[in-house]
Amino acid sequence: MHLTEAEWLAGIQFLTATGEITDDKRQEFVLLSDTLGLSMLVIAQNNRKPPGATEATVFGPYRVANPPECESGADIANGAVGQPCYVAVQIRGLRGEPVPHAAVEIWQADADGLYDVQYAGNTDMRARATMRADAQGRVAFKTVLPEAYPIPADGPVGRMLAASGRDVWRPAHIHFMIDAPGYEPLVTHLFRHTDQYLETDVVFGVRSSLVTQWHRHEPGATPDGRASAIPFYTLDHVFVLNDAPA
Ligand SMILES: [Fe+2]
């Protein structure tokens, strides 16, 4: 079997269409790379981690530069809709040592599966922040529970997924980027263990080590010492950073 001339032409037309829909707001080639699994492959090859270190994953298209700087413990929702979710993370090194004062950036979708930048006319930064871990490597924040979301499927990549019978969905997650002197920077996600799309993530970003327990609680006392009149969620996780290359 070899490529026919008709198939070759169809391939060129597909790549041309991918270029034509790409502009400064939409990067269809990144989407194509992500949905082919190429982005995750390149990341895996360039971020080989020793046993015990947290695995790296794709950035995705929704990180924006200069998110609000918040104190640990802050509510980062800033108007994002969704059920309350209290997240507490600990950052450690491979020898179990706390990583003090790590810079932690967070970004996520809301209850409708949308990032702030997807709301027409919105200029507020919602459910995203940068914060500094304490001397014990701890960071906590209040946010909203993210939900699964479909990637933009109205272009060539969407047609490719439809033709191959694939889902367009990403399972619910929060993105983290963690940086500290002496350690390898980490870009990763935490996924919700109950999500129905964990096995079919359209960008192949899920790693079993990143699927985490998000606990639902009835109304009552919350981790920040207050009380919630509605049900809320908690997520606790330990990230383990690899040493910086010598
Ligand atoms: Fe995302």
Work out how many domains the chain is built from and give that number.
Answer: 1
Predicted confidence at residue 154, as pLDDT, reads 95
Position of tokens 């699964």? 148
* Paired strand residues for 138: 90
CA distance 52 to 40: 19
246 part of a folded domain: no
- In angstroms, what is the span from residue 126 Cα to ligand 1's centroid? 13
Per-residue pLDDT band for 234 (boundaries 50, 70, 90) equals: very high
Domain limits for position 75: 5-241
Work out the average pLDDT over 157-173.
96
Instruction: State yes or no: pLDDT of 60 exceeds 90.
Output: no
14 part of a folded domain: yes
- In angstroms, what is the span from residue 65 Cα to ligand 1's centroid? 15
CATH of the domain at 96: 2.60.130.10
Neighbouring residues of the ion ligand 1, judged by CB less than 5 Å: 60
222 part of a folded domain: yes
Q: Are the C-beta atoms of 131 and 139 separated by less than 8 Å?
A: yes
Instruction: State yes or no: pLDDT of 8 exceeds 80.
Output: yes
Selection from 146, 172, 179, 180 nearest residue 76 by Cα: 146
Instruction: State yes or no: pLDDT of 25 exceeds 80.
Output: no
Q: What is the total residue count of the chain?
A: 246
Instruction: State yes or no: pLDDT of 202 exceeds 90.
Output: yes
pTM of the prediction? 0.93
CA distance 91 to 45: 23
Predicted confidence at residue 61, as pLDDT, reads 81
Strands lying side by side in the sheet with 84-93:
138-144, 84-93, 232-241, 214-217
Position of tokens 């990143």? 210
- In angstroms, what is the span from residue 147 Cα to ligand 1's centroid? 10
